[in-house]
Structure 1
Amino acid sequence: MQIRHSLALTGTAALGALAAPASAQTLNLGITIPRLSVAEYHRPYVAIWIEKEGAAPRSLSVWYDYDMRNGEGTKWLRDVRQWWRASGRAMKFPADGVTGATRAPGDQKIAFTAGKGPLGQLAPGNYTLLVEAAREVGGREVVRLPFAWPPKPGATVKAQGGSELGAITLTFGK
């Protein structure tokens, strides 16, 4: 399996920390799951989390096959290796507000509001949002999007996956 780390920034505001109230910020995340032409296709397990140096990683969303009988889908979560090592193995599944079903190929959108749900309150500083995908009979890929908190509303960070993930866009709004 190949691991690819990608990063591309759009605009100088993407990494600039500006004084907007943290409680009013929303992280809007767009993830493209590519349609692959392979003999045996399985939807990827995807984990989305944030890291800040000196702080515990924070899982924001995990997409997996939770309908599998006897909870068997959870045993494959460890294939999402970097997330599993960072914070996944400490979680209980299903996790309310964090876990959900795998997603079909195409554009997926998810939003997180500061002060609510899994995002919670973020202290000012430099963070990395990570998206990792792993697919049965497929590959694994991690994409990193660095950002500063609090961001300027409208700031955008973009990255491009190479195999299991396509374009990833993180936009900050009020």
Structure 2
Amino acid sequence: MRKLLLSALLAGLIARTAQAADLNLNVEIPRLDVAEYHRPYVAIWLETADQNAVGDLAVWYDVAMKNNEGAQWLKDMRQWWRRSGRNQQFPVDGVSGATRPAGKHALSFSGSQKPLAELKPGRYALVVEAAREVGGRELVRVPFDWPPTKADSLTAQGEHELGAIAVTFTP
């Protein structure tokens, strides 16, 4: 009986430790050679294999507009808006932020915090969606298994509104 209890406690500790993996993300926003360039709105979230949102990691939009008017254009990120955005009040602490200029942007997320801490083992995707005024829209998915059993790096490449997307997991 004691061995069984000890095994169960050890298994629970291992499961919690495995799920405390960190996620590091690099998102590239390309500089487009167009007459009228606007920084894109970008949403980054996690979703299940059947494309149900499980948590937002970041939403970049024009937070400097008076009376939070920049939030009205969030619906231009159509996939994110349908899955998660329309159910929220903006700004969201720890998620909302200003649009970013062209270049590479690094983000880090601790596995001990939401939404990573609440992920059950399984197949997920990290999704990055961008929409730009007088521009286009683009969505990039990076599938992954949770929890990671070893350090791993995954990449995907956007075509026009997004550049390279790199995800690194550290158990």
Give me the TM-score of the superposition, normalised by structure 2.
0.85
Aligned partner of 1:64 in structure 2 is: 61
| Structure 1 match to 2:81 | 84
Q: Which of 8, 29, 35 is the matching residue for 1:33?
A: 29
The answer to whether structure 1 residue 161 and structure 2 residue 161 are counterparts is no
Unaligned runs of 5+ in 2: 1-14
Conserved in 2, the CA contact under 8 Å of 1:60 and 1:119?
no
SS of the counterpart of 2:116? coil
25-34 or 53-62, which deviates more: 53-62
CA RMSD, aligned part only? 1.7
Which is bigger in relative contact order (C-alpha 8 A, separation at least 6)? 1
Alignment match, 1:136:
133
Runs ≥4 residues deviating over 6 A: none
Gap regions ≥5 residues in structure 1: 1-18
- The alignment-based identity, stated in percent, is 58
| 3-state SS of 2:92 partner | coil
Offset of residue 24 of structure 1 = 2.9
* SS of alignment partner, residue 70 of structure 1: helix
State the AA in 2 paired with 1:144. Answer: R
**Greater displacement, 152-161 / 90-99:** 152-161
Aligned length: 156
Describe the superposition over 1:87-137 as per-residue Cα deviations: whole angstroms up to 9, x where unpaired. 000011100011101101000000111121443321100001100000000
**Alpha-carbon spacing, 1:124–1:117, altered in 2? closer, same or farther (3 Å):** closer
Tell me how far apart the structure 2 counterparts of residues 116 and 93 of structure 1 sit (CA, whole Å): 20
Q: Name the SS for the 2:38 alignment partner.
A: coil
Answer yes or no: is the 8 Å Cα contact 1:57–1:86 preserved in 2.
no
Give the structure-1-normalised TM-score: 0.84
**For the Cα contact (< 8 Å) 1:20–1:150, is it kept in 2?**
no
Which of 123, 126, 132 matches 1:126? 123
Greater Rg by CA: 2
Instruction: Report the equivalent of 2:4.
Output: none
Cα distance in 2 for residues equivalent to 1:22 and 1:113: 12
Q: Is the 8 A contact 2:45 2:57 kept in 1?
A: yes
Alpha-carbon deviations, 1:43-81, whole Å to 9, x = none?
000000011147643111100001101211000000000
The SS at the match of 1:76 is helix
